[in-house]
Amino acid sequence: MSVSLQKPVAKTQRQFKLWTSATLGVVALLACSMISISLGLVAISPLEAWQGLIAPDSVSPKNSAIIWSIRIPRILVAALVGAALATVGAVMQAILRNPLAEPGITGVSAGAAVGAVAGITLGFSGSYAWGVPLAAFAGAASVALILQTVLQTRRDLGSSTIILVGVSLSALCGAMINLLIAHAKEDSLVRSALFWLAGDLNFRDWSHVAIATVPILLGLAFMLYKQHSLDALALGEQVASTSGVNVNRERTIMLLVTSLVTGAAVAVSGIISFVGLVVPHVVRLLVGATHSRVLPLSTIFGALFVVLADTVARIILDGSRVQTGVVCAIVGAPIFLFLLLRQSRG
């Protein structure tokens, strides 16, 4: 009798912890977004920022333009990118059964970097508003297509081999990036490329929001829909097979979806590290390893992490230009090392 009562109580406690964590995450994300709207080279009071949100005509034209043309698009891009990278990280750690798996492990991020650097060094950033993001997405899609071809040709590949394929593709893309940078016509183009590679969210506008929104939201919805298959895959191929999951098909589909979502995120943000590594691990510490809880919380806290990092990047060093990816790495690397040491002790 006591055992039968303990199960509903434990389930209720898990649900309470999930909803509490999700609510706190959403509230923190909204609060951080409001703070981000207020802070910057041009300071706007929280009250005026709120008035500018609900009634743009009630504030000065200058502040209204800053809020709606500069800061809100940048916040939305940061939230979309953070949600995408964190959720993809959680999914890839499940399908590859590797706690160190992250969005760049398949080489798609490196492919996007090749496309973006090519677009920058060829001058697309100055003449075409969508030139660099579309070039980055094309590079990511090309690597995803190569990965798809490999997976279709060899359906018996294990997780370790897939990781090695990603490492090889990343190395090839790295060589191409170095070649493009070495032959850039102007030093300013090299500087722009390096800023993009470090994860730069400066000058993001509504066109970047438009590029990222549809593929990222569709990809997130699909990954959330596959939460039960991910639970089975995380337990191993044999367990997944006996549970009725077609391991090869599910893994191939999920790798392609995560690749396209990663490509869409990287196309508008550059290379931002540690989000897909740190956030899922922190979420598992809060609510356990079940993907019905890990995925939605990774989405929320991933968005919060990047919005917060981007806010810090804009106000640090008295307004000096600091890349969002640099802040994510500075914060994320020590957290990840702490989690690794904590896990090894456990």
Query: How high is the pLDDT of residue 4?
Result: 54
Query: How high is the pLDDT of residue 156?
Result: 67
Residue ranges and CATH numbers for the domains of the chain are 18-345 (1.10.3470.10)
d(CA 255, CA 227): 14
Instruction: Show pLDDT as tens, one digit a residue, over the chain (346 residues).
Output: 444 555 566 677 778 888 999 999 999 999 999 999 998 888 898 899 999 998 888 888 999 999 999 999 999 999 999 999 999 999 989 888 888 788 888 888 899 899 989 988 887 765 556 778 888 888 888 888 888 788 777 766 677 787 888 889 999 999 999 999 998 888 888 888 888 888 889 888 998 999 899 999 999 999 999 998 999 988 887 888 888 888 888 888 888 888 889 988 988 898 998 999 999 999 998 888 899 999 999 999 999 999 999 999 888 765 556 889 999 999 988 988 887 777 655 5
Instruction: Describe the crossing of helices 227-234 and 247-269 by its angle, rounded to 10 degrees.
Output: 110
> What does the H/E/C string look like for 179-223?
HHHHCCCCHHHHHHHHHHHCCCCCCCCHHHHHHHHHHHHHHHHHH
Contacts 24+ apart (CB under 8 A), 65-69: 66/40, 66/42, 67/37, 69/205, 69/206
Query: How high is the pLDDT of residue 67?
Result: 94
- CB 183: neighbour CB atoms within 10 A? 8
Phi and psi dihedrals of 276, rounded to 5? -70, -15
- Name 244's Cβ contacts closer than 8 Å, sequence gap at least 6: none
Q: CB–CB of 207/74 below 8 Å?
A: no
- The SS3 of residue 74 is helix
- Name 284's Cβ contacts closer than 8 Å, sequence gap at least 6: 294
